[in-house]
Structure 1
Amino acid sequence: MTSILEAPTRTHRIVFPFTAIVGQGEMKLALLLNIIDPKIGGVMIMGDRGTGKSTTIRALADLLPEINVVADDPFNSDPDDPDLMSDYVRQQLKENISLQVVKKKVTMVDLPLGATEDRVCGSIDIEKALTEGVKAFEPGLLATANRGIIYVDEVNLLDDHLVDVLLDSAASGWNTVEREGISVRHPARFVLIGSGNPEEGELRPQLLDRFGMHAEIHTIKEPELRVKIVEQRSEFDQDPQKFHHECRLQQEELQNNLVRAQKLLKQVNIDYDLRIKVSEVCSILDVDGLRGDIVANRASKALAALEARTDVTISDIRRTIVLCLRHRLRKDPLETIDSGCKVNKVFNQVFGLETEEY
């Protein structure tokens, strides 16, 4: 049995509205699809400095609707889904103890590059565990991020071991901490978003492959668009409240679309013939493993759900397949062709769309 309480009113800093961001369609699409289906596996965003990566990601977190969480639970447990509950909350339900539920904004965790493994995963007080016989667990950032977003700026500079930990938790939805024979496990289902500047180096291919999607963004060249971006930013800086209010209807419409798409996703179907062709594209491109096939299927279904459809079309696959495969291709150091062009070329060949313009 649960009782819903109102969360205390908080004043929070107004962030730039997601719907007001000009351009960067590839990045925005990848982020929205991961919100609809977190099992896509997160987004790696690579692009020039000053292209709005951090602004867009913070705007996305602010856009998301409030969720129900168990009050005073450090893991943001879902009162209705056992897979997203901590052991303590699950035990309370077994004992028929009433849960107090509050509404809370989706949490976004900024992971600092200097974070330690204990800070990320949590730590166990061995002395307390041995002397008092209790699992003295201090939750880390993965606990805070359950049912939310983890953002790592300059992820290509983060220690590889920590990237491994994040990707393992994002894939499994659980975080396990073990110290001296004592083990603690808690839900950690989140959307992992990494960003970086290619000039500072790439992630190792083994780690890059574990990100569901890879978006490339570039500095906008059109003078008119640049002027529009500068003007919007000036308006927002002068009066954030007014600017946010002017975007309220578009923000609410997109928010409602995301909620509807999350509910519709289970009903979306992708024909067997389309799945065969997606796998044929992956095979011709010599993509290692099956992650590419799985993510391409998931992403196209999420796009169909976003547009309120229950059947995936060739257009859905075309709009998402580059995001899902470009970072999984084997790189030839002597080749200058963009990996996205290569994916599009093979897609056209397999789907019989050689003459289609992109």
Structure 2
Amino acid sequence: MQLQQRINGFVKLGNFLSTEVFKNEELINSASAHNGWFTKENIIFALQGWSEILTEEKLNKWLSPYSFPEKQPKTVAIVIAGNIPLVGFHDFLSVLITGNKVLAKLSSNDTVLLPFLAKKLIEIEPGFAGLIEFTEDRLSNFDAVIATGSNNTARYFEYYFGKYPSIIRKNRNSVAILSGNETPEQLDALAEDIFRYFGLGCRNVSKLFLPKDYNFDPFFNAMYGWKEIINNNKYINNYDYNKAVYLMSNIELLDNEFLLLKEDNGFSSPISVVFYQYYESEDELRKYLSENKEHIQAIVSEKDIPFGAAQKPQLWDYADGVDTISFLLEL
């Protein structure tokens, strides 16, 4: 297949996502039943996000800086995390759009959505048929690897895949910088960055950087719109557990009955908890964030990613800042 054929296939898949897929209640119910974190609302949010990205204009803008030489396709193994719906779709897209073959190992937490979309893509463009394979077995017969997991699994990945060209992704979290002058609308949007996908994504804000003497009242007022999140059984179990552990340890918390704020220097907060840390000056904070960039996926602020946009990355917003397309084209 030529590059334009591949682009056309994904554009048609995007059209399908924007029109037909939302009528498929069986698909959405199946994915939701398989994973208690995959609510119907979050599945639809993920599908809607990809429908807005898979347009000819955005695909061409993404790919225009690169040169695509004609060559034999390489087989790229993708080890996919299962923390949020379709979290591995960007890697899946990147491998195929560069003319390579996908050998995908799905997380047991997300086995429904990507195989369904792969099947639909092949219906749309049969040229993809020989380029997509899913496996539950040990990975073998591949030329390169893209693997996403925790810091612990990354050590395993580095050991097992060390002899192959690879992208190995570890834990990262996103942060927000607040000045105290945010509008109610901006804080409402920040709530989306915190609560979407229950905070399980690497682009979820798990840490706030606040000026001294920050007034938390406007922040908590904005969070109130997500109060229904506590009705999710898995979320409330985490909230209750974390609250109990902190209280037994005499740790001071700010609590609105569905979100815990804890002053902490860490970046990776537990589910239902957001860490916060005070800063003296923005210049010093920016230096601190630069020194800790290996922990940070995205920064939300008036000067960085806009409030409310953390979970709407563009195709060129590469995870961990690693250019996946360049990596694949150099194989």
Q: TM-score range by the shorter chain?
A: under 0.3
TM-score, structure 1 as length reference: 0.25
TM-score, structure 2 as length reference: 0.26
Which one scores higher on RCO, CA 8 angstroms, separation ≥ 6? 1
Q: Which of these two proteins has the greater Rg computed from alpha carbons?
A: 1
